[in-house]
Structure formats: C-alpha cells, structure tokens
Amino acid sequence: MNIEYFFNSLAFIKPEIVISLGVVVILSLDLFLKNGKKLLPYTSILFLLVTLYYLVEQMMVMEPAFKPIDYFPMVAVDSLGTFFKILVVVASVFLVLFTMITKEFDEKFDRFGEYYTLIFGMILGMFFMISATDLILIYLSIEMVSLSSYVLAGFLKPSKRSSEASLKYLIYGAVSSGTMLFGISLLFGLVGSTNLFEINKFFSMMGAPSVIVFFSVLLIFAGIGYKISSVPFHFWTPDVYEGAPTPITAYLSVASKAAGFALLIRFLKLGFIGDIVSDGIWSTLPVFNWQDFLVIISILTMTLGNFAALWQDNVKRMLAYSSIAHAGYLLAALAVQTEAGVLAVMIYFAIYLLMNLGAFLVVIIINNQVNSEHIDDYDGLGYSMPYLGVMLGLFLVSLTGLPPTAGFIGKLYVFLALLDKNMLVLALIVLLNSVISLYYYIRVLKHMFLNKKKEAVEQVPNKIFESSVVFILGAPVLIFGIFFTPLVDFAKTSIHFLFSAF
Amino acid sequence: MLTEFGKIFAFLLIAIIFVIVTVFVAKLVRPARPTTEKLLTYECGENPVGSPWIKFNIRFYVVALIFLIFDVEIVLLVPWIMVYKEAQILGFVVGAIFLFLLALGMAYEWRKGDLEWVRPNPVPPTIKKPEIPQEISTNPSTPPLNQV
C-alpha cells in the first residue's frame, strides 16, 4: 500500500486548504478574543482573497488529484472547476459585504462566529462539489453544502419565517439526498465502482440503454436538481428564499447553484460522453438520452418559474421564482451538449452572479429602510431613493435580458449555442419565457417609479459603503453589456475539462 | 515470548486490573452521601419508571449530536491506525490535525455554554418588527407577539 499520492495531491488543493484554515482561524477568533466578533468579516474577506489568489494561480493546471496508482482520481483539478470556484469565492466576498450591510440580524446576535464558520464550511463543500469525480465524494460534498445551508437559512432564530424556511429546506434536502444516494447505489450495483471515469468506461462498453441506468440517473439527478432548483425538485426554493436572511438567500441563489451546475456538467461529461469530440460537439453514449431529458426539464423549469413569479407580491419570493427560471435557461444551454453550450452556461453564470446579487443587495438596503419586502411598500421608492431605484432597474432589466445590459449577452450566448445545433423550438421557448419575465421584473419598477405615495417624498440619504457595493455590482453589468470580450475570452480559456485521467 | 493470543490476554488482564483498582481507589477517596435521587437507577436524568411519552429537554439533542461527532471520530480513527506505521510522521500530522479540529469544536461548544444543562445568560428572543403573516397561516384570534 502506498499513500504517497495523498500527500502529493495536497499541492493541488491549496484553495481548499486555505478555506479549511479559514474555518479554524475564524472559530478561534470568536473563541479566544473578546472583541473577535468585529474582526470576523475582515478575516473572512482576507481568507477569501488568499483563496482567490491560489485559484488564479491554479487557473491553467489540469491535473488529477488524489489518484491512487493504477486507478482513477477522486478529484479533478481543471480550469472549468477553477472558473466556477472563482465564481463561488466572488459570491462569498459579496456575501460577507451583504452581511455587514443588512440589519436583519439583531444587535444582540452573538453567533457570528458560527455564521462565518458555516459559510466557510459551505464554500469548502462547494469546492469539492465542483471538482469531485467520485460519486461518494460528490454525495459527501453535497451534504456538506446542504447541512451548512440548512442552518444558515434558519439563522434568524426569533423569526418564524426563518425557522420555517430552515425546516422545509431540511426536509426536502433530506429526501432528495436520500433519493440521490439510492441512485448512486443502483449505479454502483451495475458498474461496481463509484468513480465517474470507471462508470464512463463501463457505459462505453455497454452500448444499449438500460432501465437501471435510466432510473439511477433519474434518482441522482434528484440530488443535483435540488441544488440547482430545477423543476420537479424546486419546491423548497420560494419558501427558503423568502424566509432565510436575505444575504443567505442571495448566496444560495448564486453560489450553491453555480456549484450544482458545475457538478452537473462534470457528471454529464465524465460519465456519459464518449471520447471523441469533434468541433466541440459531444458524442453522447447511448446509455441515457441526456438531450431530451434536459430539454424537457429545462422547458418545465423556466416556464413554471416564470409563470409562478407573475403572481408574487413579495419581492424576495419573486426573485426566488426568477432564479428557478434562470436555472431553466441554463439547463437549456446545457441540453445542447456542445462546448458552446458549456461556454454559454459559464458566461451566463458569471453575469447572473453580478445581476442577481445586485438585485438582492438593493432588496436588502430597501429592507433596512422600510422593513418590508412587499411590493406595495416599494411604492414611490424611486423618488425617495433614486440611486437605488435606478440600480434595481438596471439589475432587473439585465435579469430580463435586454440590451445594453450584460444579461443580454448571457442570453445571446445561450441562443447561439441552441441555434448552432438547430434547436429552434427550444430557442423559441426561451425567447417567449424572457418576454413573460419582462412583466414581473418591470412590475417592480412600476411600483417604484409610477405608483406615487400620497405623503411628501423624503430623500433618504445614501450611505457610502452600501452605495459603493451596489456600484461594484452594477458597473460590470453595464460594462459587460457593451464590452464583453474579456468575459468571453476568460470563459473560453477556462473551458478545458480534465477528461482522461491518464 | 507472548503469542498473539497471549498479547490479547495480557491486554484483558490489564483492563480488568485497571477497573478493579480505579473502583477501589474511588471508594477510598469519595464521600458517601446517598439521597433518593442518587440511589435511583441511572436513566440520564429522567424518571426511570413511568410513561416513555413525556416531554424531555431539547438539550438532549445537543448532547446526542456531540456524542455522535465523537463516535464518528472513533470510526474515522480506526483506518488511520491501520496505516499509521506506513505513513510515518506525515500520518501523525494528519491525525493530529483531525483531532485538533474536533477539539476546537468541542472547546467552542464548551465556551459558548452549549454543554451546560441550562444555558448561562440566555438571550431571550426579541422581536423587533411585527411579522407580516404571508405564507404561514397564523390564528387571527391570537394577537401579534409584540402586543402580548
């Protein structure tokens, strides 16, 4: 027996090690220092920046890590994974900033040590979710992310809504992860291994589709679909998003979704795609028809998300349904099963991160002022807080996908990928859904700018810190809408998979 | 030289002697002031006789969770022991890190008072703003919490 490979592989997971160190340091700060609480956000940001440094350093590394001799690796370090990890870290930095801005937490709230520790645990889980190539590690990392997010969703202890969110999240999560585990066990029974490379090898020899593969993939998709909140597994999303503290809502809608998509891409690519890739078009193994499956799921997801969002009066809940709809668009891009499709997912995600976080940040700041997320309380806010009103308008227009915002570029690449493969009907459905989404996004703006309050309008002064964070999120949304080459180039350089282990 | 079974026997013998000695020493040292509660069969603080369907303290769950963590710790340490010899000093470092993390978590629990049966300085939940009942159907006859 040789475990040298284990120690050698540690060099490939430097970002993960930094995050683990972050957990220890943050916990110790809260434990040993009297005034450690004030240092926590800054320490978190420091650790996240160090992680970002190591991720950037790792950008072009393509190595199998934790690879026993003569066997397949547990973790794949590749540029696709690094891209998604960078997204997660950026979202985490914003989460820390959001937590500093929000007033949802009590002054007496004394559990910030746990709060940041759980966030770091979640980041660690997401990192492994993004780069795991073994079903057991995938399952463990999903659980790691889930357990942290259950607690984080219920962090506003006195609030009934928050506790309800946490409990609902826990119950749905437990069921879907159990389902996923069952699927994994079926697949293990068929293949005799939990490693995706091994599974791929088995499938390419198997040839014809089989019922067991169908069911096991369906069951495993329950776990992944729950993380990305795609339709049959979306039930938790509105309740959890509404009840959880808003920074956590924003984080769940971006970071854990990004990790889920990275996992789905890797699961699909490593498990079910044959070796030959010509012109960026994947040759799927005939064991499972991913294309039809993903097309159906994506149509259901976006249509349901958009139609349900139409009736929402709570802005957070509306954004929850809109995030379901966005998962639908992303799944449509993935259903294409070409490199262009994955590129579209990556570009869309980078943009979705900015605009969704931005929209949630404005909701947080407005909640600080008016103590409500109900759409009727947004009446006339465009006049009392003109800057925030305009910024929210920008984010919502971008979420709709109208030019000249970045959301348009994201949608454009989804369409390009779809049209490349002649999937006109799906492209048309995505287009129609965007039109539907326009209604409910613009409705918020209507309340802000057209419905006037009877009382005299009072200008609420902007706070510099809040406004600058909004600006940091808002500026790229506008800039990438016009000058998007750097983003596309960045995505293009980091689309490489670790495909063959040897 | 001891055979393999001989080693087990020696181990067994030491274990038995250890228990006897500690019980005996404890008997010498400890004060004996029996009360009714102390003489009851130990049932983790609950009444040993009666219906099992009673409300019990929520803190049992916290204790159970912490117990679970240390239970799993033992399970995870067993494979570590198996490769300990080959892994040399690096293996020791890995195990030490693992134990350090657990100890840190334990220290955190302790410091934050989660191991106390009654939490010191409990922070009563305060409700800053009235909850707007939207999704949860609350009984309209009960007044909102901030008016009680």
A154 Cα distance to chain centroid: 19
* DSSP 8-state assignment for residue B145: G
Per residue in A420-435, pLDDT tens? 888 899 999 999 999 9
- pLDDT given for residue B147 in this prediction: 46
B87, B101, B128 member nearest A3 (Cβ): B87
Q: Which residues contact A383 (CB under 8 A, 6 or more apart)?
A: A389, A449, A452, A457
**Residues A480, A403: contact at Cβ < 8 Å?**
no
* Cross-chain Cβ contact B126/A106 below 8 Å: yes
3-class secondary-structure state, position A451: coil
Take residue B58 and report the two structure tokens written for it. 């929520």
B83 contacts in chain A (CB < 8 Å) = 1, 3
- What is the per-residue DSSP string for A283-308? EE-TTS-HHHHHHHHHHHHHHHHHHH
Cis peptide before B48 (omega within 30 of 0): no
Distances in whole angstroms, Cα of residue B107 to Cα of each of A155, A256, A484: 22, 30, 50
Q: Give me the amino acid identity at A396.
A: L
Short-list A223, A251, A226, A220, CA closest to A119: A251
Angstroms from B45 CA to nearest CA on chain A:
28
Query: Mean pLDDT, to the nearest integer, of A18-41?
Result: 86
CB contact under 8 A, B136 and A164: yes
More confident residue, A78 or A208: A78
Distance, CA of B52 to CA of A312 (rounded, Å): 46
Residue B117 pLDDT > 80, yes or no? no
Nearest CA of chain B to the CA of A31: how many Å? 6
Q: According to the model, what pLDDT value does residue A21 have? A: 92
Is residue A444 classed as helix, strand or coil in its secondary structure?
helix
DSSP A242-290: HHS-HHHHHHIIIIIHHHHHHHHHHHHHHHHEEEEEETTEEEE-TTS-H
Chain A residues near any Cβ of chain B (below 8 Å): 1, 3, 7, 24, 27-28, 30-31, 106, 108, 110, 113, 157-161, 164, 239, 242, 314, 371-372, 374
Task: Give the sign of the dihedral formed by CA A99, CA A104, CA A108, CA A111.
Answer: negative
Which region among A154-168, A222-236, A343-357, B44-58 has the lowest average model confidence (pLDDT)?
A: B44-58
pLDDT at A155: 86
Q: What is the 3-state secondary structure (H, E, C) of A393-412?
A: HHHHHHHHCCCCCHHHHHHH
* Residue ranges covered by each domain of chain A: 292-502
Distance from the Cα of residue A293 to its chain's centroid: 21
Chain B residues inside the 8 Å CB shell of A242: 134-135
- Which pLDDT tens digit goes with each residue over B46-103? 777 888 787 777 778 888 888 888 898 889 888 888 888 777 788 888 889 889 988 8
Domain count, chain B: 1
Residues of B in contact with A110 (CB under 8 A): 123
* HEC assignment per residue over A30-74: HHHCCCHHHHHHHHHHHHHHHHHHHHHHCCCCCEEECCCCCCCCC
Give the torsion sign (CA, A405, A410, A414, A417).
positive
Q: Which helix (H) or strand (E) holds A314?
A: none
What CATH number has the domain bearing residue B112?
1.20.58
A332-387 pLDDT, tens digit per residue, is 999 988 888 999 999 999 999 999 999 999 999 988 888 888 888 888 888 888 88
Q: Which residues of A186-202 are buried (b: 16+ CB within 10 A; e: fewer)?
A: bbeebbebbbbbbbbeb
| Distance in Å, alpha carbon of A425 to nearest chain B alpha carbon | 37
d(CA A457, CA A212): 64
Domain span including residue B45: 12-119
Contact A3 B101 (CB under 8 A): no
A201/A271 Cα distance (integer angstroms): 8
Domain presence at residue B44? yes
In the numeric block, the tokens 């001989």 are attached to B6
Task: Look at residue B18 in the predicted model and tell me its pLDDT.
Answer: 96
* Number of CB pairs, chain A paired with chain B, less than 8 A apart: 44
How far apart, in whole angstroms, are the C-alpha atoms of residue A64 and residue A9? 8
Residues 6+ apart with CB under 8 A from A288: A209, A213, A214, A217, A272
Q: Which residues in chain A are contacts of B132 at CB distance < 8 A?
A: 372, 374
Report the chain A residue with the minimal C-alpha distance to residue B108: A31
* Total-model pTM: 0.86
Q: What is the DSSP letter of A460?
A: P
